């Protein structure tokens, strides 16, 4: 499967704008939202995924994860069950380019909400629909982190 998520047409309604960040919903679908919006977020260390019930924008979520030795997560078939709340994930789109995972990690898993095919820069997970959404990276969401242990 092509890792270019910008070509996926399974997006939520009215999501055809630019500069978004991805988030995931409780229905495991992806959504996009402007990155300055505030959401909770996820961080991961590859071994564990943590949900942070603090609403921040995507860039702040990334920094908070990095400050704790983790990153915003890449969602895969094997870890998707760990995402049960709305929050920022490690998926973003800059200046209308292709969607990419943090660190250029790869995943063949795609679960964009209907009509969420947007040129917005960040992605998040929405738990009420278990889908991903694109969103403004500046929106404040909760987040999840991945920690890396050596």
Decide if 77 is inside a domain.
yes
Closest to 132 in 3D by CA, of 67, 76, 59, 78: 76
User: Given this model, what pLDDT does residue 115 score?
Assistant: 59
**Total of domains in the chain:** 1
Helices (H), 23-112: 58-67
User: Given this model, what pLDDT does residue 60 score?
Assistant: 94
**Parent domain of 83:** 71-118
Residues 6+ apart with CB under 8 A from 51: 40, 41, 42, 84, 85, 87, 142, 143, 144
Q: Return the CA Rg of the chain.
A: 13
Decide if 110 is inside a domain.
yes
User: Given this model, what pLDDT does residue 125 score?
Assistant: 73
Token digits of residue 138: 């500046």
Half-sphere exposure of 97 (CA within 13 A, CB side): 7
Rounded to an integer, what distance in angstroms lies between the CA atom of residue 107 and that of residue 109? Answer: 5
Decide if 143 is inside a domain.
no
Parts of the chain with a pLDDT under 50? 1-11, 13-17, 148-150
User: Given this model, what pLDDT does residue 18 score?
Assistant: 55
Decide if 105 is inside a domain.
yes
User: Given this model, what pLDDT does residue 16 score?
Assistant: 42
State pTM to two decimals. 0.66
Measured at the CA of 33, the angle between CA 30 and CA 35, to 5 degrees, comes to 120
């Amino acid at each position: 499967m092509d890792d270019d998520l910008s070509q996926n047409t399974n997006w939520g309604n009215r999501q055809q704008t630019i500069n978004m960040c991805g988030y995931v919903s409780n229905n495991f679908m992806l959504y996009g939202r402007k990155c300055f919006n505030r959401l909770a977020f996820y961080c991961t260390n590859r071994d564990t995924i943590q949900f942070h019930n603090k609403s921040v924008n995507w860039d702040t979520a990334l920094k908070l994860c990095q400050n704790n030795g983790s990153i915003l997560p890449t969602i895969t078939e094997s870890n998707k069950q760990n995402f049960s709340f709305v929050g920022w994930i490690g998926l973003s789109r800059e200046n209308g380019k292709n969607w990419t995972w943090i660190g250029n990690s790869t995943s063949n898993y795609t679960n964009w909400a209907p009509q969420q095919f947007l040129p917005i820069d960040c992605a998040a997970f929405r738990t009420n629909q278990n889908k991903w959404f694109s969103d403004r990276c500046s929106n404040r969401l909760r987040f999840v982190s991945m920690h890396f242990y050596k």
